[in-house]
Amino acid sequence: MSLWVDKYRPKDLQKLDFHKEQAANLKRLIQQGDFPHLLMFGPSGAGKKTRIMCLLKELYGPGVERLRMEQMNFTTPSNKKLEIMTISSNYHIEVNPSDVGIYDRVVIMDLIKNVAQSQQLDSKGQKDFKIVVLTDVDQMTIDAQHALRRTMEKYIANCRLILCCNSTSRVIPAIKSRCLNIKVPAPSTDEIVSILQNTCKKEGLTVPVELAKRIAEKSNRNLRRSLLMLEACKVQQYPFTANQNITEPDWSLFIRNMAKLIIQEQSLERISKIREDLYELIVHDIPGDIIFEVLVDELTQNCDFELKLQIVEQAAIYEHRMRQGNKEIFHLEAFVVKFMCLYKKYLEDALGNSM
């Protein structure tokens, strides 16, 4: 049983539900024949990947939909063996270099060289270049990004890159300037609502507008999550009611619970406990920025304006550092401890005033 997200994913540039003008531009871009490197960026669940697959189909025809998974092996100069999963068709190959952590540079260099050096098998009528899709480019090390810069220029004759990331802030300027940057903004709430309704229609279900709206808001305008939420709701309770319970993701509950613990008590033991929890989240691969987001959201709920200001300021400082540095736990923990200090002081002041 495939998920609704995959089942009703648009396969064609014309069939996209939103950003139609952008889709038309992309189509024109391909028809012109020359095709630059692309850098797609935008929040998750905005349809970057869908657009990339549509582009590929537009370029090469339905052949790109015959996907196969392949494990590729690389050896680093220090003789460490790396394995990475790739998804490929005859015309393109998709890989997430950050899967191999700090060794992504080797993958980038070897993989693109491999792809670029082999000629297109089916020469008649097709484009004379292959496509390499790199996902999570913002998670790549700076080293790998610099390696990419050279490779991009060297193999431009028979290989084009499509890079995909959430934010360009960690992508080095040299790469940004070598690509056509395409921003894919998150769909509006109304767009999500209509898509949810259309999906339900195709499934032969009906969904109340209120519920669709609530889902869209709860998912933070993340279309993929909206669809998953809707399907999860359907599994839990059908027919839909307007005010039915929408399951929150487990990590979100977990972080909110953690925030409660932080507010409850500010002590050394609590810090150790929170650290365990933070590690738990990191082990489950929950990205640091999401942890920050939910945590700040929950922590600021019962604070006065002045304290809120301070907390948000600190959160901004530490999140910025987290983007610059590499160890998430350092910055998350520093923020938590900072909050504890501020909150403790706030409580003491409040107590002092009332006495």
Partner 1 sequence: MSAKKGWKSFNFDCVNGTSKNIKKDNFPKQIFKAQATSFNFEEKIIPQSVDDLAVHTRKISDVEFWLNNNVITKSRNHKPSILLITGPTGCGKTATVKVLCKKLDIEVSEWINPIDRDKDYAIGQTSRMLEFLSLSKYPSLLCMNKPKVILIEDFPNSVIHNPNEMVAILEKCSTCEKSVIFICTDLSNLNMNLPQTLFPDELRQKFSIYNISFNATSTTLMTKAVKRAKTIIEMHTDINNITDVTVDDIVSSSMGDIRCAVNQVYFTCSKVCNDLLPSTPPPKYSNKRKRKSKNETKNQVLLKNERLSFFHGIGRVLNPKRVEKNGSWRLKCDIQALVDEIGIQPTTFNSFIHNNYIKYFGDIHDISNAAEILSFSQIFLNKWENRENFLNYSLWIPIMGLMVYNEHKVLKWNQITAPRKHKKEINNDLETKSLNVVDRCYYNIINKLDLKNQLKPC
Residues 34-53 that bind partner 1 (CB under 8 A): 44-45, 49
Find the shortest distance in angstroms from Cβ 272 to partner 1.
Answer: 6
The tokens for 167 are 């934010």
Alpha-carbon gap, residue 188 to 125, rounded angstroms: 39
Does 341 help bind partner 1 (rule: CB under 8 A)?
Answer: yes
Does 65 help bind partner 1 (rule: CB under 8 A)?
Answer: no
- Interacting residue with partner 1 among 33, 62, 77, 173 (CB under 8 A): 77
Site track for partner 1 across 90-129, x = CB under 8 A:
--------xx-x----------------------------
Find the shortest distance in angstroms from Cβ 203 to partner 1.
Answer: 13
Closer residue to partner 1, CB minimum distance, 30 or 334: 334
Buried b (16+ CB within 10 A) or exposed e, 99-116: bbeebbbbbbbbbbeebb
Which has the closest alpha carbon to 38: 62, 16, 22?
22
Closer residue to partner 1, CB minimum distance, 165 or 228: 228
- Interacting residue with partner 1 among 154, 324, 347, 349 (CB under 8 A): 324
Site track for partner 1 across 247-286, x = CB under 8 A:
x-xxx-xx-xxx-------xxx--xx--x-x-xxxxxxxx
242's CB contacts (< 8 A; 6+ apart) are 208, 210, 211
Site track for partner 1 across 197-236, x = CB under 8 A:
---------------------------xx--xx-xx--xx
Which has the closest alpha carbon to 185: 201, 167, 161?
167
Does 169 help bind partner 1 (rule: CB under 8 A)?
Answer: no
Does 244 help bind partner 1 (rule: CB under 8 A)?
Answer: no
Closer residue to partner 1, CB minimum distance, 155 or 199: 199
22's CB contacts (< 8 A; 6+ apart) are 182, 184
Closer residue to partner 1, CB minimum distance, 153 or 250: 250
- Interacting residue with partner 1 among 150, 325, 347, 349 (CB under 8 A): 325
Find the shortest distance in angstroms from Cβ 37 to partner 1.
Answer: 23
- Interacting residue with partner 1 among 65, 66, 122, 142 (CB under 8 A): 142
Does 143 help bind partner 1 (rule: CB under 8 A)?
Answer: yes
Q: Please say whether the dihedral angle defined by the alpha carbons of residues 74, 140, 23 and 197, taken in this order, is positive or negative.
A: positive
Does 85 help bind partner 1 (rule: CB under 8 A)?
Answer: yes
The tokens for 208 are 């109340």
Cβ burial of 11 (10 Å; 0-12, 13-18, 19+) is middle
| Contact call for residues 102 and 141 (beta carbons, < 8 A) | yes
- Interacting residue with partner 1 among 19, 48, 51, 331 (CB under 8 A): 331
The tokens for 342 are 């501020």
Alpha-carbon gap, residue 200 to 215, rounded angstroms: 14
Alpha-carbon gap, residue 248 to 299, rounded angstroms: 18
Cβ burial of 37 (10 Å; 0-12, 13-18, 19+) is buried
Cβ neighbour number for residue 326 with a 10 Å cutoff: 9
Contact window for partner 1 (CB under 8 A) among 34-42, 147-155, 243-251, 299-307: 243-251
Closer residue to partner 1, CB minimum distance, 53 or 152: 53
- Interacting residue with partner 1 among 72, 156, 200, 290 (CB under 8 A): 290
Q: Please say whether the dihedral angle defined by the alpha carbons of residues 77, 81, 83 and 89, taken in this order, is positive or negative.
A: positive
Alpha-carbon gap, residue 252 to 149, rounded angstroms: 37
Contact window for partner 1 (CB under 8 A) among 57-65, 116-124, 295-303, 339-347: 339-347
Closer residue to partner 1, CB minimum distance, 200 or 282: 282
